[in-house]
Structure 1
Amino acid sequence: MTAVLCRQFGLKHIEIAEDIASDTFLKATEVWSLHGPPENPTAWLYTVAKNKTKDYLKRNAIFESNVVKTIMEKSHDHCFTDIDFTEQNFRDSQLAMMFAVCNPAIAKEAQVCLALQILCGFSVEEIANAFLSNKETIKKRLFRAREHLRIQNFKIEELRAEDIGSRLDTVLTTLYLLFNEGYFSKSNDNLVRKDLCAEAMRLTLTLTENAHTNNSKVNALLALQCFQSSRLEARIVADGAVLFEEQDTALWNKDLINKGNYYLVNAYATKELSKYHLEASIAYWHTTNIDNGKWKHILELYNELLLWEYSSGAALNRTFAFAKIYGNEKAINEAAKLGLPTNSYYHSLLGYLYSAIDTDKAIDHYNQSIRLTNSPLEKKQLGKTIATLAEKRNSS
């Protein structure tokens, strides 16, 4: 809704578009709670948004004098009261807005922050978690980026081939972070947020449907999202998440795995390689039931991924794969080399690795992980793991 409104308002008036969209959903909350949802909720929302836009235009003298004149000069038949909320315009507007926000004139990290907030509805806290940063830093980035949009009066225009090359990587980073926040949520009462995963996949799929953006990186990212999403039902329980090796493979979504295979084959149709190719390949091996050499392939891919782009998450996952091949004791030595004493997942991994070797050390690391995580559900789940280990220790 914000994308469609901005396409007609221009990014200069992005706050107006966001306010109208927000007010529309607020009205829905008020009306639907009293009378129940209408027969066609989507049409209801779009009708209310159109009416609110019309009301705004009537009230706002600045808009009437400065913007409508320009619009009318472009097209006699065009007016804001006839906003096009068709599915095609919805898709086109969001795609165009993704590339408009990811403008090279804005610092790259600020582009991603802005896209996560405007296109994906992220809060400042969620963006801070995605960047492993603090909220004040993110607030400053967002303020500067929005100021730049206003001053430069950026417009949402049809995609041009020359813009795609300079902006697509930032768009993909945004969708990658959006999916990750859904898959490993740190800012919500749920460890997994299916809504964010689904939205990331929808937007990535939109890129594959456009001839200008359907390249190997996009297909690799979509393959990764399909593989990861295929295990969501097996990964979630009422009060936490299930470890990979304890998941019921019968709950894995075979259709999504097949789609992941399809997009991964498309991704490798060219010689181009990216971190998305490597991560999708790792996810592919996780969805196979072949044990012979499986973890060896995964470890090799993690080794290559870390050379391509280092991240603490990938380093910790590599250590888990290392343990599957060489055993927990050697993996503990590998983990010690990472130097991540303030990372909650680091201590969770050490807790897991020590569980069969030294129960007291395992419990100590799990306790440290509890102190370092902000997720209430994670704390609860880790507490249960500690209780199980303590019971096992006391009974032996």
Structure 2
Amino acid sequence: MTENQQSHKELLPHLFRQEYAKMTAVLCRHFGLKHVEIAEDIVSDTFLKASENWAINGIPKNPTAWLYTVAKNKTKDYFKHIVVFETQIKEVIKPNEFDIEQDFEFSSQNIADSQLAMIFAVCSPSNSTESQICLALQILCSFSVEEIANAFLTKPETIKKRLQRARTNLRNDSFQIKILNEKETKLRLNSVLKTLYLLFNEGYFSKTNNQLIRQELCSEAVRLTLMLTENNFTNTPQTNALLALMCFQSSRLEARTNDQGEAVLFDEQNKNLWDKTLIEKGNYYLVNACNGNEISKYHLEAGIAYWHTTPTDQDKWQHILQLYNQLILIEYSPITALNRTFAYAKVYGHNNAIHEAEKLKLEESNYYHKLLGYLYVDIDINKAIFHYTQAIGLTKSKIEKQSLSKEIERISEKNNSR
């Protein structure tokens, strides 16, 4: 295999993750495609052509621009073929209903506008809230079925069925990207915020890749949420609270992993690596989020993230625990319950926290066993090793398996040296 062949095979998967959803959104918006699948097929064909062309001719100077140009030309050709139009897409595309803008540029602003417009279009009331979010994660965020299943803590088969029904409903509902009025925008905003929240979470702690952090997903979620704060219809307290949460969490990304890509526990993080600018932005948006009487899960999670980034305070973990107590009442999830137990350990000690954790009965969760392993380290080494071993068996992440194995080695050596 030549060096050029190797490089293009490494570059294309990266570009696919970065650009596929953006290209799909722009094509749907500017060419008036009513079936998302048509745009997806064109973009997929573009990447197929790239794999063939670049293997022979080498990677172009600007590969991203090359992809956008080919996708644009393929879409134009799609409309030019009369036979194809008459036999395959006459009922799919009705140009008279749209102002098809065939001459446009793939500028950063154009792409961002198209993505936001697409998210709101996909979050149609014709589907359930969960289906809206699943579809948006797949189409706009390029999430795999497995990634969506992990986000919803459910089985891939359930997600596949949900996506199939959602796509069918969109087609039957005459899907199109259009300018929404204030009422329609506010009706769909909660689903959009949940989509961006899950997008950020997958980047902040990836469950399906051999890397614990996917910064590109975090950055994309922040960028799109920031755009929502710049629109009068979507600049709500919830939106600002979500953006504050993302800023606080993003400020610690560099400190959350070591040079080997392994997780670094909060207590062991190098605070000099925390991004103070992002912390200040988080403070700014959290203040904006308090403009009113609304308290959402994003407000509470942003408050928790705020206390994590503040200097050591005697009552810091007490504040965090109180916020977790409120969060569980608003929206319970196993992850929230486990995070609350960690905070509980900081306030009431590991022995008491072990009893709290065991009440949850989350034996099938690697996070559950990872937490119990951590809590037992200074109490019962054998039980700590047992739970860390259970966590290794339940996680899919190679990096996390390595990190947990090293922790078992560390505490075993510590125990043997006593």
Is the structural similarity TM-score above 0.5?
Answer: yes
User: Contact (CA 8 Å) 1:50, 1:83: kept in 2 or not?
Assistant: no
- Quote how far apart the aligned CAs of 1:86 are: 3.2
3-state SS of paired residue (1:307): helix
1:323: which partner in 2?
Answer: 345
Relative to 1, partners in 2 of residues 1:365 and 1:249: Cα closer, same or farther, differing over 3 Å? Answer: same
1:66 to 90, 95, 98: 90
1:108: which partner in 2?
Answer: 129
User: Contact (CA 8 Å) 1:351, 1:363: kept in 2 or not?
Assistant: yes
1:228 to 246, 249, 260: 249
2:360 to 327, 333, 338: 338
For 1:216 and 1:35, locate their aligned partners in 2 and report how far apart those are by CA, in whole Å: 51
- Quote how far apart the aligned CAs of 1:245 are: 0.5
Which residue type is aligned with residue 90 of structure 2? N
2:274 to 248, 252, 257: 252
For 2:73 and 2:91, locate their aligned partners in 1 and report how far apart those are by CA, in whole Å: 18
- Quote how far apart the aligned CAs of 1:61 are: 2.7
2:239: which partner in 1?
Answer: 218
User: Contact (CA 8 Å) 1:129, 1:186: kept in 2 or not?
Assistant: yes
Q: Does 1:44 align with 2:69?
A: no
TM-score when normalising by structure 2: 0.89
- Quote how far apart the aligned CAs of 1:54 are: 2.1
Q: Does 1:351 align with 2:373?
A: yes
Relative to 1, partners in 2 of residues 1:94 and 1:79: Cα closer, same or farther, differing over 3 Å? Answer: closer
User: Contact (CA 8 Å) 1:112, 1:174: kept in 2 or not?
Assistant: yes
Q: Gaps (5+ residues) in structure 2?
A: 1-22
3-state SS of paired residue (1:241): coil
1:361 to 383, 386, 403: 383
3-state SS of paired residue (2:35): helix
Q: Does 1:291 align with 2:327?
A: no
1:197: which partner in 2?
Answer: 218
User: Contact (CA 8 Å) 1:316, 1:346: kept in 2 or not?
Assistant: yes
1:25 to 47, 65, 80: 47
User: Contact (CA 8 Å) 1:217, 1:267: kept in 2 or not?
Assistant: yes
For 1:162 and 1:79, locate their aligned partners in 2 and report how far apart those are by CA, in whole Å: 27
For 1:258 and 1:103, locate their aligned partners in 2 and report how far apart those are by CA, in whole Å: 35
TM-score when normalising by structure 1: 0.94
- Quote how far apart the aligned CAs of 1:90 are: 2.1
1:142: which partner in 2?
Answer: 163
Which residue type is aligned with residue 174 of structure 1? T
- Quote how far apart the aligned CAs of 1:110 are: 0.9
Which residue type is aligned with residue 373 of structure 1? T
Relative to 1, partners in 2 of residues 1:360 and 1:395: Cα closer, same or farther, differing over 3 Å? Answer: same
1:174 to 174, 195, 200: 195
User: Contact (CA 8 Å) 2:186, 2:234: kept in 1 or not?
Assistant: no
3-state SS of paired residue (1:337): helix
Q: Does 1:120 align with 2:141?
A: yes
Relative to 1, partners in 2 of residues 1:5 and 1:67: Cα closer, same or farther, differing over 3 Å? Answer: farther
Q: Deviations over 1:2-36 (max 9, x none)?
A: 11111244463211111222333344455456656
Relative to 1, partners in 2 of residues 1:51 and 1:9: Cα closer, same or farther, differing over 3 Å? Answer: closer
User: Contact (CA 8 Å) 1:101, 1:114: kept in 2 or not?
Assistant: yes
Runs of 4+ in 1 over 6 A off after TM superposition: none
3-state SS of paired residue (1:112): helix
For 1:344 and 1:60, locate their aligned partners in 2 and report how far apart those are by CA, in whole Å: 56
For 1:322 and 1:297, locate their aligned partners in 2 and report how far apart those are by CA, in whole Å: 11
Q: Deviations over 1:51-86 (max 9, x none)?
A: 1112323346343683799425765xx554x24433
Q: Does 1:387 align with 2:409?
A: yes
- Backbone CA RMSD of aligned residues: 2.0
Q: Mean Cα displacement is larger for which, 353-362 or 153-162?
A: 153-162
Which residue type is aligned with residue 87 of structure 1? S
1:209 to 209, 230, 237: 230
Q: Does 1:155 align with 2:199?
A: no
Which residue type is aligned with residue 345 of structure 1? Y
For 1:327 and 1:165, locate their aligned partners in 2 and report how far apart those are by CA, in whole Å: 44
- Quote how far apart the aligned CAs of 1:44 are: 2.6
- Quote how far apart the aligned CAs of 1:91 are: 2.3
1:265 to 282, 287, 296: 287
For 2:33 and 2:193, locate their aligned partners in 1 and report how far apart those are by CA, in whole Å: 21
For 2:157 and 2:92, locate their aligned partners in 1 and report how far apart those are by CA, in whole Å: 37
- Quote how far apart the aligned CAs of 1:391 are: 1.1
Aligned residues: 393
User: Contact (CA 8 Å) 2:222, 2:246: kept in 1 or not?
Assistant: yes
Q: Deviations over 1:280-308 (max 9, x none)?
A: 01001101122221111101111111111
